[in-house]
Structure formats: C-alpha cells, structure tokens
Amino acid sequence: MENVLQKIVADKKIELEALKQARPLQSFIDTLTPSEKSLYQALSQPQAGYIFECKKASPSKGLIRAHFDLDEILAAYTPYASAISVLTDKKYFQGSYDYLRYVTDRVSQPVLNKDFFIDPYQVYLARYYNADAILLMLSVLDDQQYKELASLAERYRLDVLTEVSNEEEAARANRLGAKIIGINNRNLRDLSTDLSATGRLAPLLNKDALIISESGIYTHQDVLQLAPFADGFLVGSALMAQQDLSQAVKNLVFGQIKICGITTAEYAAVVRASGACYAGLIFAEKSPRAITAEQAKAIVSQVPFNYVGVFVNEQPEKVAELADALNLSAVQLHGQEDSDYIQTLRKLLPEDCELWKAQGVSDSLPPLNMAEVDRHLLDCQVRDQFGGTGTSFNWALLNEIKDKSRLVLAGGLSAENIKEAAATGAAILDVNSGVESAPGRKDADKITELFKQLRDY
C-alpha cells in the first residue's frame, strides 16, 4: 500500500477518531439488528447485475456531480439496479452517512456502504445506518484485519464485497473464502484504469464466487466486453458525470437504441418508457410512416423526448425550421444530399442538433468521408431503395470500420437479431419495422422483447 492509497488510509484513521468521539459505539451498539437484504442473492440472478453508485466526488476526478440530488439519482437508478452503493468517505469522495441513511430508507434493493474499511467501528456504523453490505479492500487490509471485519459483518448479516486489483490479492481472496469479489480496474496506487484487469483476474478466482467488475466502465460496449468474465458491474463516476442521469443509465444497460417511425403520441410514450434513447419522426412523404409537421408538433408537445427527424431531399430551410420548432436532437438525411447541401443545412440548424447521413449498403461499404456529418447511418440497399426495406446487409462488412463511435446501424433489426447487431459495436442501433404489427403501428410487446434481449448478457 503506497502513494494515493496510503494517504487516504492515514486520513481515514483521523476521520474515524472524530466519528468515535461524536458517536461512541456504546451509544448505539445495542440498537443494531441484522440486515434482511442480501447483496449476494440480488447479484445471483441469471442476468448480470448492476450496482449503481451515489458518488459526489472522487480522488481521480475531483467534484463529479455538483447538483447531488439523491431523489433524482434514485429515480434513475432503481428501475435497473440490483443494488445501490453509497460513498461515506468525507474527505476524498464528499460522502456522508446521512446519504447512506437517506438511501436505505427509500429503496428496496440492498445497499452497499462503500468506504475504506479499516476498523470494526465502521462495520457497526454501516449497520447503524442500515447498510446491507460493506466493501473490504485487500489493497488496504491484511488477512487478519480482513477476517476480523468479515466476521463482524457476518454477525449482522452484512454481505462483503471483497475488492482485488492484482494477482496476489486474487489469490488471497480465494484463500479467505470471499463470496462476492470485486475486480477493480483502477490501480488505486496511481489511479490509472485498465479494463483488461477483469479478464485477466477473473479466471484466477474461485468458480463459486460472484465476480463484479468495478471502475472504468463508461459505455455499453465496455459492459459487453466485460460480461463474459463478470456477474455484475459497479458503476459510479461514468453516470454521475451525466446531466441526464436517467438516459445515461438506459444507455449503459441497453446501449443507444433509436426506435423510428413514430406516428402517434401513444407510441412515443411507449418508446420513451422503454430503454430507447431516441424516437424517429419520418417526414418523407412516400413512407407509410410519414407524418405531417402538425402531427409531429402534437407528439413532441405531449411526449417530450429525444427526437430525430428523418428527411429525404427536403429543402434545407424546411429541415432547419422543423428542427428548431420540434427541438430535434438530430436530423437524419435519407436522400441524395451532397456535401454542399449538408454545409448549407449545418449553418441553418440549431447548434445542438446533430446531422446524420444515411447511406445504403449492398455488397460493400460506401465511403464514409463526409466530415461535416456527426453520424453515418448504414442501411440495407435493395436496388435503388435504402431505408424502410426491413432487411439487413452483411454486418461482417462493419469489421472494416475501426472507429464505430459515429456509426448508426439500421435495416431489419428486431428482437431476433438485436444481440448480434449490438455485438457489431455500432454506437446506435436503429429499429423500425422489427417492433411493429403493421407499418406505422408499434407493438409494445415487441418493444419489450427487444429490450429483454438487449439485457441478456
């Protein structure tokens, strides 16, 4: 133990002395009762679980979430969390035991007290504030210290998340019989992160232990990369830094999904309530899902969400006018719009409106060389038509693209193939006819099944 970690532990001892003075153990030990919620059970479900963290600051990033509203945070977390983690370290994470009490009073999930545990007093205090689990870090504790704290935790039925960060600690976790083992992808000695730590250490751990991947998890692609090695993920900083926390949680759990061809406010409401991050409004007259500007305004006013407008060879002025009136998140161009058109449109669009260009794919990838666009959408081309064909192109072609962070994949996506589509690494998946009972009629059951498949990892 050295550097950053050594300093944190030294400061923790000072903090603990003050806590003991303010709230002596004898003043509350007789009030403690065992936990009735099991972190182990919550994480033992068939799907990988999420421990979402309430974290205001960190040593590596400083202040992460200035507006730290626990009601807002819990509203975003609880629909998808197996458990909630609360930081109580004051100096380095701006945590608080008051936060812990607030959360444990309001959620049905087990709550993990995350701190630098070095003293039995902290275990008692965690249970006093109704925590259901604690974090024990093998980078901080020797075997004897670990056994003492783990034994005390067991007395109050507190599960222990045992954290390891290297091969030596992994071997110790095995010897100590740890049931839930967190692999920290962050090196706490220099604060660097390396996601490959999970894949490197997981095979070394006891087969009957639950494995949680911690730190450095920012995207759904990170989750898919780690899923073969882990039973769950602990995520804090990546979410806490996002302004739209609810959407950030959905993007992490499901990936970025657009459901296109919305024709009514009722369908828009179904899409918004799902895991989707975008809903598409089509203004191409020949489409069976086309709507008018008036219909679009009614949908947007009744169901505020992130909308993408789809246009085919429309006048730039009209596209920009609708983008502004509807507060579109993006405009998607599905015609023969060239660089000159796009440059003209870009100047007219609201600054925060992205510009996506759709291109058809038949036997090979088209050139993706329009620097002016924010995203390239690839759809299956059948003769002269691309978009709305309900068919897919050969996704193996996408292996030619190294950076897929600006790529939108469309064409024939449904619950049957959405997992394969997600595995391509495309940043956004665009679904339309695959969640319909008829053109323009979205099917809530098919949408539910789509996201059920996306969550199966």
Determine the average pLDDT of the residues in 321-347: 97
Give which of 440, 439, 404 is closest to 421, Cα–Cα. 404
Question: Measured between alpha carbons, how far is 119 from 348 in angstroms, rounded to an integer?
Answer: 62
pLDDT at 245: 98
11 is catalytic: no
For residue range 50-91, list pLDDT tens digits in order.
Answer: 999 999 999 889 999 999 999 999 999 999 999 999 999 999
Determine the average pLDDT of the residues in 245-258: 98
Residue type, 14: I
Give which of 135, 159, 166 is closest to 234, Cα–Cα. 135
Question: Measured between alpha carbons, how far is 440 from 432 in angstroms, rounded to an integer?
Answer: 9
Task: Find the catalytic residue in 119, 159, 222, 379.
Answer: 379
pLDDT at 384: 62
Question: Measured between alpha carbons, how far is 436 from 207 in angstroms, rounded to an integer?
Answer: 42
2 confidence band (pLDDT: 50, 70, 90): low
Instruction: Quote the percentage of the chain above a pLDDT of 90.
Output: 92
371 confidence band (pLDDT: 50, 70, 90): confident
- Residues in the chain, overall count: 457
Query: Mind listing the domains of the chain with CATH numbers?
Result: 3-249 (3.20.20.70), 255-454 (3.20.20.70)
pLDDT at 381: 77
Half-sphere exposure of 445 (CA within 13 A, CB side): 1
Ramachandran region, residue 409 (left: φ > 0; alpha: ψ -120 to 50; beta: rest): beta
Give which of 308, 310, 387 is closest to 354, Cα–Cα. 308
Q: Are 453 and 435 in contact (CB under 8 A)?
A: no
260 is catalytic: yes
Q: List C-alpha distances in Å: 42 to 48, 50, 103, 343.
A: 10, 10, 17, 52
Q: Are 361 and 410 in contact (CB under 8 A)?
A: no
Count CB atoms within 10 A of the CB of residue 19: 17
Which tokens in the block code for residue 345? 């449109």
What is residue 256's three-state secondary structure?
strand
Question: Measured between alpha carbons, how far is 172 from 40 in angstroms, rounded to an integer?
Answer: 20
pLDDT at 109: 99
For residue range 198-242, list pLDDT tens digits in order.
Answer: 999 999 999 999 999 999 999 999 999 999 999 999 999 999 999
pLDDT at 190: 77
pLDDT at 302: 99
Question: Measured between alpha carbons, how far is 390 from 414 in angstroms, rounded to an integer?
Answer: 10
Angle CA(301)–CA(410)–CA(353) in degrees, nearest 5?
A: 40
Mean pLDDT estimate for the chain: 96
Question: Measured between alpha carbons, how far is 58 from 236 in angstroms, rounded to an integer?
Answer: 10
pLDDT at 5: 87
Give which of 99, 163, 89 is closest to 131, Cα–Cα. 99
Least reliable range by pLDDT among 128-132, 378-382, 453-457? 378-382
Residue with tokens 């926390």: 245
Task: Find the catalytic residue in 115, 132, 159, 260.
Answer: 260
Question: Measured between alpha carbons, how far is 82 from 99 in angstroms, rounded to an integer?
Answer: 19
For residue range 379-424, list pLDDT tens digits in order.
Answer: 987 666 555 667 899 999 999 999 999 999 999 999 999 999 999 9
Give rounded-to-5 percent helix, strand, coil for the chain.
40, 20, 40
What is residue 248's three-state secondary structure?
helix
Its pTM stands at 0.93
Which tokens in the block code for residue 303? 């169901």
Enter the DSSP assignment of 208.
T
Question: Measured between alpha carbons, how far is 366 from 5 in angstroms, rounded to an integer?
Answer: 51
Give which of 283, 303, 301, 280 is closest to 292, Cα–Cα. 283
35 confidence band (pLDDT: 50, 70, 90): very high
Rg for the chain, CA atoms, rounded: 25
